[in-house]
Amino acid sequence: MSYLETTHNVYKEAALTPDVGLCCTTNPIWELPGLKIPRIMQEMNYGCGSTVHARDLTNNPKMLYVGVGGGMELLQFAYFNRNKGGVIGLDVVDEMLEASRKNFKIAEEQNDWFQSDFVDLRKGDAMDLPVEDNSIDVAAQNCLFNIFKSDDLKKAIAEMYRVLKPHGKLVMSDPTCEQPMNDELRNDERLRALCLSGSLSIADYVKALTDAGFGTIEIRARKPYRILDPKNYPTDELIYIESIEVAAIKDPMPADGPCIFTGKAAIYYGDEDYFDDGLGHTLLKNQPLAICDKTANALKNLGRDDIFFSESTFHYDGGGCC
């Protein structure tokens, strides 16, 4: 049995018998005016964070969500686009699609604004999306890409890139791990399906996105997720897994490389009212400016003694140097 077959079976079982402990997200449930999320959707929230960010969802964007779970994030996306078929939900597991359909009927009863046909549920493979080129404003996946092995991950990211419009956003939440894992963990198909042993480092995760052509990457959150301990897993050391929330934007790739925002800032405190590096970056005196890692390195290389640079906070919420 391949790891993808094991994954299919794990989520078929989770669709037929909701498993509250399958994934663990510390994100609070969205509290928006008029939005009520059925309990069954919360119980089937098989993610490790959130991909729903209001600032991404203005002007009725066309949305795609891959790996539907119980439909909770699809319902949240539909809140921002109340049009027939405004949100496409894809899954390869028939039982999960059927569970979402049933859950949407409950959501209709609890939300007078919601109609099930706001969401176009389709059977589809993340590595071969049944979606037209350049047709999606915001695509999302939650706790799916970390399951894929390297070649399959490349295909899945390339497919997301293909279907996004220019400057469209791919919003993701996935577990990451900065420690090495032994082969027994890496090769355990069930642990991979459970979003544990396939976790990449943040650097490798970001590289997979930029290799696909995404010119701007935003690290929006980095949070504790799980522990793999020697008592319960085949490891001699404690392994700490985090979850990150990331947006990859289909911007043109800059000639000097991608803009990767990891939550760094620069503060100018010199004698003038501002500092201009002549390359489009203006730092007002004593006002922090969010900067990508590339700009941070370039400004540091100037050797000035009147600019302070913060370390990466792994939280970025827009604005800044690019």
Q: What is the pLDDT of residue 20?
A: 60
Q: What is the pLDDT of residue 24?
A: 58
Same domain, 169 and 200: yes
- Mean pLDDT, to the nearest integer, of 135-161? 97
Neighbouring C-beta atoms of residue 264, cutoff 10 Å: 25
Q: What is the pLDDT of residue 28?
A: 64
For residue 6, CA distances in Å to 128, 156, 309 come to 19, 18, 46
In a domain, 228, yes or no: yes
Same domain, 282 and 152: no
Residue after which a domain boundary falls, among 203, 224, 250: 250
In a domain, 315, yes or no: no
Per-residue pLDDT tens for 155-173?
999 999 999 999 999 999 9
Same domain, 197 and 56: yes
Closest residue by Cα to residue 79 from 26, 30, 142, 25:
30
CA dihedral (151, 157, 160, 161) positive or negative: negative
What is the Cα–Cα distance from 142 to 126, expressed in whole angstroms? 12
Same domain, 277 and 147: no
Among 13-27, 93-107, 174-188, 255-269, the least confident range:
13-27
Same domain, 22 and 119: yes
Closest residue by Cα to residue 218 from 240, 250, 256:
250
Same domain, 152 and 274: no
Per-residue pLDDT tens for 5-60?
999 999 899 888 876 666 656 566 777 899 999 999 988 888 888 999 999 999 99
Q: What is the pLDDT of residue 163?
A: 98
Same domain, 163 and 277: no
In a domain, 317, yes or no: no
Q: What is the pLDDT of residue 26?
A: 56
In a domain, 256, yes or no: no
Same domain, 194 and 270: no
In a domain, 316, yes or no: no
Is the pLDDT at 79 greater than 80? The verdict is yes
Structural domains of the chain, count: 2
What 3-state class would DSSP assign to 269? coil
In a domain, 319, yes or no: no
Residue 296 binned pLDDT confidence (cut-offs 50, 70, 90):
very high
Is the pLDDT at 286 greater than 80? The verdict is yes
Domain range enclosing 177: 3-250
Closest residue by Cα to residue 25 from 43, 10, 51, 45:
45
Same domain, 162 and 239: yes
Same domain, 205 and 67: yes
Same domain, 166 and 41: yes
What is the Cα–Cα distance from 195 to 156, expressed in whole angstroms? 16
Same domain, 155 and 285: no
> Do 99 and 70 touch, CB atoms closer than 8 A?
yes
Q: Which residue in this structure is represented by tokens 């098989």? A: 46
Cβ partners under 8 Å of residue 303, min gap 6? none
